[in-house]
Amino acid sequence: MSEPRNLSIDGDRLWDSLMEMAKIGPGVAGGNRRLALTDEDKEGRDLFVSWCEAAGCTVSVDAMGNIFARRAGRDDSLAPVVTGSHLDTQPTGGKYDGVYGVLVGLEVIRSLNDLGYRTERPIEVVCWTNEEGSRFAPAMISSGVYAGAFTLEEALAKVDADGATLGGELERIGYAGDLPVGGREFHAYLEAHIEQGPILEDEGKDIGIVTGAQGQRWYEITLTGQESHAGTTPMERRRDALLGAARIVELVNRIGLDNGPDGRATVGLIESHPNSRNVIPGRVFMTSEFRHPDDDTLAAMDAGYREGVEAIAADIGLELAFEQIFHIEVIDFDERCVAAVRNAAEERGLAAREIISGAGHDACNIAAVAPASMIFIPCVDGISHNEAEEITPAWSTAGGQVLLGALLELAGGE
Ligand code: HGY
Ligand code: MN
Ligand code: MN
């Protein structure tokens, strides 16, 4: 049997699968819109399951709708080496965020089948439910349940903007599995993903050896003032909720800048009520989030934010409902898994560099219960969470070669 380093995936077949998946839930500008647990997400899941079954995998689904496609090892009693990511997208998402990690994992299985290569340990490809946290907040909720960060009950009870529950939507699309969520050992977990930033492309690197991920804090705020007539209400008599939100947007941005260059601060969602041009907004719902590679700095950003928001609400006379809905600390990935990625990149002569993930990924949750790491490939201009998200076939294939090599190291070759 040839050396693992000489084994190769079929990059064209992987690219064809990416393009096939991209036809499902098309966006309006070349990307994708497959919000978690929508009919489009179901269609993508069904296609993935059919491909896994065609590749001889046994497919199982757990109570959070996480899909596991298993390729038996020589010793099937051993804990599996798992790879995968997510198929749900942002509302104006790209073709590769998450999807790449799921389909490159399938490509490794397809290639091992072609090569007649049997690993010591089973290999599984997983598709995690609702990674994006766009339809149902927070992000990475299903790997979070798997890792014990959330209970199954609280996750199934999450509601979207229309009041649909995550559990109800799982039932509706037929992915409310009967497997328990979690409690099953992963020997190792590797997630391949696009970088979603500009570093690898700027430096001419093909591969990111992901050593960790930054911490995150997500918030939801409701400001309540008083709706009143835009023409008759004197300025000094107003309790304008949108004015409060505007000052909070400025505060969030200021906190991000004051904690640069690594600080990240974003207000992504604002709903103003009644949203009528000649009514002073009486109520605003808004989200915000901070990220930083240092937990103490992130805690200081949080403290400054809470103080600032209180002062803004008091100054305008607004009622304030403030909730931190998600907090994940800085992650350091497992050295053995990181080394497997590094070795695979080196053996294939690929230009690689170590990198910290700016985005959150399911690997960040799984790192709490299993040795984990990630493989990044570049994306064009670092653009992601945008329909213009793009990669090259060469980057896609390079990531697949590294995933193959690293999985063989962790799963034990012949
Ligand atoms: O928000 C994130 O970092 C990920 O895309 N869910
Ligand atoms: Mn992603
Ligand atoms: Mn994403």
- HSE (side-chain half, CA atoms, 13 Å) at 191: 35
Q: Compute the C-alpha angle 44/50/53, nearest 5°.
A: 140
Task: Please report the pLDDT score of residue 6 as a whole number.
Answer: 72
Which atom of ligand 1 has the smallest separation from the CA of 90? 5
Quickly list H helices, 89-204: 99-115, 141-146, 152-156, 166-173, 199-202
Looking at the structure, tell me whether residues 235 and 343 fall in a common domain: no
Q: What is the CATH number of the domain that holds 300?
A: 3.30.70.360
Report how far ligand 3's centroid is from the alpha carbon of 95 (Å): 11
Looking at the structure, tell me whether residues 324 and 336 fall in a common domain: no
User: Alpha-carbon distance 114 to 55, whole Å?
Assistant: 10
Task: Please report the pLDDT score of residue 53 as a whole number.
Answer: 98
361, 376, 386, 389: residue to mutate for ligand 1 pocket, most atoms within 8 A of CB:
361
Looking at the structure, tell me whether residues 168 and 187 fall in a common domain: yes
Span 21-40, average pLDDT: 98
Span 394-411, average pLDDT: 98
Give the ligand whose atoms come closest to the C-alpha of residue 90: 3
User: Alpha-carbon distance 37 to 130, whole Å?
Assistant: 8
Span 146-150, average pLDDT: 97
User: Alpha-carbon distance 241 to 281, whole Å?
Assistant: 6
Mode of pairing for the β-strands spanning 264-266 and 279-280 = unpaired
Average pLDDT in the chain:
97
Q: Of 328, 346, 375, which closes a domain? A: 328
Report how far ligand 1's centroid is from the alpha carbon of 185 (Å): 25
Residue 225, token pair as written in the block: 């003032």
132, 135, 374, 376: residue to mutate for ligand 1 pocket, most atoms within 8 A of CB:
132
Q: Is the pLDDT of residue 1 over 80?
A: no
Task: Please report the pLDDT score of residue 138 as a whole number.
Answer: 95
357-374 tens-digit pLDDT: 999 999 999 999 999 999
With a CB cutoff of 8 Å and minimum separation 6, the contacts of 314 are: none
Please state, for a pLDDT cut of 90, what percent of the chain lies above it: 98
Report how far ligand 2's centroid is from the alpha carbon of 238 (Å): 42
Report how far ligand 2's centroid is from the alpha carbon of 346 (Å): 25
Q: Of 267, 296, 328, which closes a domain? A: 328
Task: Please report the pLDDT score of residue 413 as a whole number.
Answer: 76
DSSP designation for 213: E
Q: Is the pLDDT of residue 229 over 60?
A: yes
When pLDDT is cut at 50, 70 and 90, the band that residue 3 belongs to is low
Query: Which residue has its alpha carbon closest to ligand 1 atom 6?
Result: 132
Q: Is the pLDDT of residue 315 over 60?
A: yes
Give the ligand whose atoms come closest to the C-alpha of residue 139: 1
Do residues 216 and 360 lie in contact, with contact meaning Cβ atoms separated by under 8 Å? yes
Region at 157 (left for phi over 0; alpha for psi -120 to 50; beta for the rest):
alpha
Span 230-251, average pLDDT: 98
131, 191, 267: residue to mutate for ligand 1 pocket, most atoms within 8 A of CB:
131
Q: Residue 313 CB: number of other CB atoms within 10 A? A: 23
112-138 tens-digit pLDDT: 999 999 999 999 999 999 999 999 999
Which atom of ligand 1 has the smallest separation from the CA of 131? 6
Region at 393 (left for phi over 0; alpha for psi -120 to 50; beta for the rest):
alpha
**Nearest residue to 374 (alpha-carbon basis) of 344, 403, 405, 409:** 403
Please state, for a pLDDT cut of 70, what percent of the chain lies above it: 99
Looking at the structure, tell me whether residues 339 and 190 fall in a common domain: yes
Q: Is the pLDDT of residue 253 over 60?
A: yes
HEC letters along 194-210: ECCCCHHHHCCCCEEEE
Residue 273, token pair as written in the block: 């009520």
Residue 147, token pair as written in the block: 């890792």
Q: What is the CATH number of the domain that holds 376?
A: 3.40.630.10
Looking at the structure, tell me whether residues 103 and 80 fall in a common domain: yes
- Cβ < 6 Å from ligand 1: which residues? 131-133, 139, 359-360
Looking at the structure, tell me whether residues 209 and 232 fall in a common domain: no
Report how far ligand 3's centroid is from the alpha carbon of 224 (Å): 31
Looking at the structure, tell me whether residues 209 and 248 fall in a common domain: no
Report how far ligand 1's centroid is from the alpha carbon of 231 (Å): 42
Span 83-94, average pLDDT: 98
Domain that holds residue 280: 216-328
Residue 58, token pair as written in the block: 């046994």
SS3 (DSSP) at 226: coil
Looking at the structure, tell me whether residues 309 and 249 fall in a common domain: yes
**Nearest residue to 343 (alpha-carbon basis) of 211, 212, 209:** 209
Report how far ligand 1's centroid is from the alpha carbon of 133 (Å): 7
User: How many domains does one find in the chain?
Assistant: 2
With a CB cutoff of 8 Å and minimum separation 6, the contacts of 297 are: 259, 262, 263
Query: Which residue has its alpha carbon closest to ligand 1 atom 4?
Result: 360
Report how far ligand 1's centroid is from the alpha carbon of 115 (Å): 35
Q: Is the pLDDT of residue 243 over 50?
A: yes
320-364 tens-digit pLDDT: 999 999 999 999 999 999 999 999 999 999 999 999 999 999 999
Which atom of ligand 1 has the smallest separation from the CA of 358? 3
293-309 tens-digit pLDDT: 999 999 999 999 999 99
Q: Is the pLDDT of residue 2 over 60?
A: no
Looking at the structure, tell me whether residues 85 and 141 fall in a common domain: yes
Q: Of 279, 304, 328, which closes a domain? A: 328
Looking at the structure, tell me whether residues 241 and 273 fall in a common domain: yes
Looking at the structure, tell me whether residues 152 and 226 fall in a common domain: no
Looking at the structure, tell me whether residues 310 and 210 fall in a common domain: no
Beta bridge partner(s), residue 104: none
